[in-house]
Chains A and B, each alone.
Chain A
């Protein structure tokens, strides 16, 4: 089914990521891992690239972060051409990898020091005390913000999973990237660490206006995204806002019940909303609000539950139905 989600028709912006007809075919592979993907990401946008295993997410993010060459297509990141200005692209992005990228035997401060030295922000010095004062102040400030000022000089291997991820994020922001790529950043974290990490990421996104490009298997993490792009087998299935993805795919409904179910059923049938019986009475609504339906019911209710479709439900429906490309107009 080909469907178009109307999300944002504004074209008066310069995309910070522009991908056009991107193709990646690995050597000795007959099928393309990424097969003609096209999308734009606006400055400051929170963009989520979702898809099942083998969909082409990691391949796409690897190409965008310059660690993998594309077969064909055009990619422009932060105003730089990926082929001709790879070094400038690298300078303008920050990356949180799927696998942790910290040196566990080194301290948190040493991990940060190596990062800023590689990015040419500060000259490398063999000890913290020999680094410039501005660096020392910045590191201490960040450590305070993250709540591990006391641990900044301790080996990273003593940190919890959540602290390590936060440290990676702080480190990746040290060179003020325009775009932060997050490749399954919460993989392996417990629920509390995940929530805490997302609080921090939302804060960074809000305060620094950093563009966030996320891939994740936890679909709930993309609920707050400005736009989601669903890929499968290297092709785009959908591109649009989470709301646009949810509303037509899985309807909202009320789950109702009453001691006198027959009376409730006849009432509901009388004023016409779509009604299904699924243990209880399932009343679908789209145009009307639940208030419209509830205000017309006279039968005393014994049960009421409002069901809002989740992004995950919409995602599962979309991917399992194998829908064809969706495009934002």
Chain B
């Protein structure tokens, strides 16, 4: 009975995020399309036109997969950290004083963040078709297959940030940006990192998104000639590392969140 009640609360929190997203559809759509256009069409397009020739694979397809992984992770992460950003205003105050376990609140926020960030996936596909990036139905299927892992790790990163900076909405906001940009540039999303060495190589391997981007590409390029040129590790390895990071972040983040939430 209690589990059912907690599940109902998590669904409620998730449904609220989705409904808010839908109600504010103009801003939601603008936000969902802005980053695909900025990162994929403009940044990726510029790199592709000037440096993409002679790579031996389609750079824009390469960039699409990197952008999918990064944006879904970041949007899900931001969906969870909004819990802290709004904690002193609006309905979030109500959530914190309701008789709902903190675990259910976090679960509901991860679900909500995942569903709303899924809209950016549609935006990414739309932008891809608009600028002529080759994408088959099988390719879309491969991307959809990996999205649950992207949502999970994005949610886990959001939980960790909420746990570390739980008492300061401003700090969470800044930390989100500070996590977002290094992930985008060092995970191999837009710029290949296969030949990185030294400190940069260490940083590349410290980025959780590196393994997600590589997992997505590993599944997408499986059995194609480009596989050896773009994929760093076996997808099974990437999956294990991604899940391990997600579990560590979820456990540590939840512990810190529950502790910091009241110990101010």
Interface residues of A (CB under 8 A from B): 26-27, 65-69, 87-88, 90-91, 93, 95, 97, 99-106, 110-111, 114-115, 117-120, 123-124, 126, 155
Contact = CB atoms under 8 A, between A and B. Distances in A.
B20 A106 contact: yes
7 contacts: A68-B264, A69-B262, A114-B16, A118-B12, A118-B98, A119-B99, A120-B99
Given A101-B90, A118-B100, A123-B8, A69 B263 contact: yes
A67 B96 contact: yes
Contacts of A97: 93
A116 to B, nearest CB: 9
A126 B15 contact: yes
A103 B93 CA distance: 11
Nearest to B259: A69
A90 B98 contact: yes
B101 interface: yes
Contacts of A27: 264
Given A99-B89, A110-B19, A88 B99 contact: yes
B95 interface: yes
Contacts of B264: 26-27, 68-69
A156 to B, nearest CB: 10
Given A69-B263, A90-B98, A105-B20, A120 B93 contact: no
B11 interface: yes
Nearest to B94: A101
A124 B8 contact: yes
A102 B8 contact: no
A114 B12 contact: yes
Contacts of A95: 97
B19 to A, nearest CB: 6
A26 B262 CA distance: 11
Interface in B1-42: 5, 8-9, 11-13, 15-16, 19-20, 23-24
Given A65-B97, A120-B5, A106 B19 contact: yes
B29 to A, nearest CB: 15
B13 to A, nearest CB: 8
Given A65-B97, A106-B23, A118-B100, A101 B15 contact: no
Contacts of B16: 103, 106, 114
A97 B95 CA distance: 12
B88 interface: yes
B91 interface: yes
Contacts of B98: 90, 115, 118-119
